[in-house]
Amino acid sequence: MRLFSLIMPAILAIVFSIAVSAKELTVIPEIEMVDVEGGTFTMGLDESEAEHLYETPKHEVILSDFRIGKYEVTQELWEAFMGDNPSISKGDKLPVENISWYDIQVFIKKLNKLTGKKYRLPTEAEWEFAARGGNKTAGYSFIGSDNPDTTAWSSYNSWMQPHPVGTKMPNELGIYDMGGNVSEWVQDWYGNYSEKNQRNPHGAKKSDIGKIFRGGSWNVIPDYNNPGCRFVSNPNFKSPYIGFRLAE
């Protein structure tokens, strides 16, 4: 009888834990996406604008329609599917960070399995087109504005910490934080640009250098709030300055 009284609470605790976990997985935080009409744009920078040669040359890119996250993926959304929060700065509405490119692939696989969607990372070209405002572009010097303080968190205004998503002004397409909160991993392997026109490019097939990430972040100067800036790192790299947003 004593053994039974000890075992039953343990069994009930396990069952309760499983039930709670299952319940939590059915409550999916809202994922707001922005429809981006395809079009043609000039990708990259010329030598007078670029800090690095791998941001050149400018070239014409044609893109089909796609959808991209209105906000960077939050810690709340990440934890709902992954069960943990690896971020250095904690907060449900803060962008998730301190995650590798490969970590994101695990998250997306779980997300798609539960939702039945086909979420993915944006390609580098999709990211830049959206950052430039797509077909609604106003030709700003920075992402979404000629004044980067209005649309992005940088080392000049962030108090050296990330902020809840969507607290600055959006760009022309209604997308938030592309200029700076955390930088964002994209799908592509690093590859040099070509002057040739491209249609729906997906980057290099492989690279010894790494994967591309885009956009400024809360710890760097506003100069990196430029839609043509490119960054690259090993896909296993984790940083409190890099997160991501979804695409479809």
pLDDT at 52: 87
pLDDT at 71: 98
> Which of 101, 58, 99, 97 lies closest to 210, judged by CA?
101
pLDDT at 9: 40
pLDDT at 1: 38
Angle, alpha carbons 234-119-81 (nearest 5°)? 80
User: What is the C-alpha to C-alpha distance for residues 76 and 94, in angstroms, rounded to an integer?
Assistant: 8
User: What is the C-alpha to C-alpha distance for residues 191 and 74, in angstroms, rounded to an integer?
Assistant: 29
pTM score, whole prediction: 0.89
Convert the pLDDT of each residue in 218-237 to its tens digit. Answer: 999 999 999 999 999 999 99
pLDDT at 31: 95
pLDDT at 51: 87
Distant-in-sequence, close-in-space partners of 65: CB < 8 Å, separation ≥ 6 = 35, 36, 37, 38
Token pair 């077909």 is found at 135
Name the token pair of 143.
Answer: 């992402």
User: What is the C-alpha to C-alpha distance for residues 55 and 58, in angstroms, rounded to an integer?
Assistant: 8
Name the token pair of 198.
Answer: 């491209």
* Mean pLDDT per 10-residue interval, the chain, length 248 residues: 37 37 59 98 93 94 98 97 97 98 98 96 98 97 96 97 98 98 98 95 94 98 95 98 98
pLDDT at 166: 98
Angle, alpha carbons 78-81-83 (nearest 5°)? 85
User: What is the C-alpha to C-alpha distance for residues 208 and 226, in angstroms, rounded to an integer?
Assistant: 26
Which residues lie across from 247 on neighbouring strands? 68, 120
User: What is the C-alpha to C-alpha distance for residues 18 and 203, in angstroms, rounded to an integer?
Assistant: 42
> Which of 55, 30, 29 lies closest to 42, judged by CA?
55
Convert the pLDDT of each residue in 96-111 to its tens digit. Answer: 999 999 999 999 999 9
Please classify residue 27 by burial: count the beta carbons closer than 10 Å to its beta carbon, then call 0-12 exposed, 13-18 middle and 19+ buried: exposed
